[in-house]
Amino acid sequence: MRGWGSVAVGMGLTFFSAVAAAGTVAIDVGHYLERPGAISAYGVTEFEYNHALAAVLAARLASEGVPVRLIGHRGEMADLRARPREAEAAGAGFFLSIHHDSVKEEHLRPWNWNGRALRHAEGFAGFSLFVSRLNPRLDESRACASAIGAALRRAGLAVATHHGVSSAGVERPLADEANGVYFYDNLVVLKTATVPAVLLEAGVIVNRDEERDLASAARRALTADAVLQGLQQCGVAIAP
Ligand SMILES: [Zn+2]
């Protein structure tokens, strides 16, 4: 009886519901070592950023007694479908994929830093969240994405506004504009999960200013705190 809503069923069920609702949260480290995702303005792979933030978030949730399962943290997971499968086999009741954002090719500009030819983009910053309408638990996914987005905003972070159209020109409709939540139906980890699933782009690592912030312990802690608050609010992470 892991799931949402059961807390409200009645006093007699409160204890069991709280235990059941505090199911394992799967934290998915986006990308893998062989194909590590975007390269940041300062030449760091997205996988490294995802890995670092996932570790901070896992520790934060665990410190509140929320069971956590890291997925893909060894950098080995090439098969996207295996990620939710592994999470669910481990008893996860919620799937959160951690990513860091880039921008379309045409917005990237060459620059040199420390002798390396790299690329960066000005004018793009902030977090965004994605849910898939092909996930069977869309309402819960969306509620949690909105709650996380609201908590990130309360923490002072800005919503990224550059995701309205994909690089292929496909529109990505907004699920919750104020809180930075978009529909991205074909994201494999979201649509193949059978538990509620959300993807977080924590910030834009090709923006030189935002990358410096994203690399800081303070920003990671602030993001982890906000995700915890969001998950508590949507009923996923309930303190024992
Ligand atoms: Zn990514």
Region at 144 (left for phi over 0; alpha for psi -120 to 50; beta for the rest)? alpha
pLDDT tens across 162-214, in order? 887 666 666 788 999 999 999 999 999 999 999 999 999 999 999 999 999 99
What per-residue confidence (pLDDT) applies to 166?
Answer: 64
What per-residue confidence (pLDDT) applies to 8?
Answer: 36
The tokens describing 76, both together, are: 């080995």
Euclidean distance between CA atoms 22 and 65, whole angstroms: 9
Residue 199 Cα to ligand 1 middle (Å): 9
pLDDT tens across 7-40, in order? 333 333 333 333 334 489 999 999 999 999 999 9
Residue 190 Cα to ligand 1 middle (Å): 13
Residue 99 Cα to ligand 1 middle (Å): 4
Residue 83 Cα to ligand 1 middle (Å): 14
What per-residue confidence (pLDDT) applies to 163?
Answer: 80
Euclidean distance between CA atoms 69 and 86, whole angstroms: 9
Euclidean distance between CA atoms 52 and 110, whole angstroms: 26
pLDDT tens across 145-172, in order? 999 999 999 999 999 988 876 666 667 8
Residue 100 Cα to ligand 1 middle (Å): 6
Over pLDDT 90: what percentage of the chain? 83
Residue 68 Cα to ligand 1 middle (Å): 21
Residue 89 Cα to ligand 1 middle (Å): 24
Euclidean distance between CA atoms 223 and 30, whole angstroms: 16
Residue 17 Cα to ligand 1 middle (Å): 34
pLDDT at 105 over 60: yes
CATH number, span 34-233:
3.40.630.40
pLDDT tens across 114-149, in order? 999 999 999 999 999 999 999 999 999 999 999 999
Over pLDDT 70: what percentage of the chain? 88
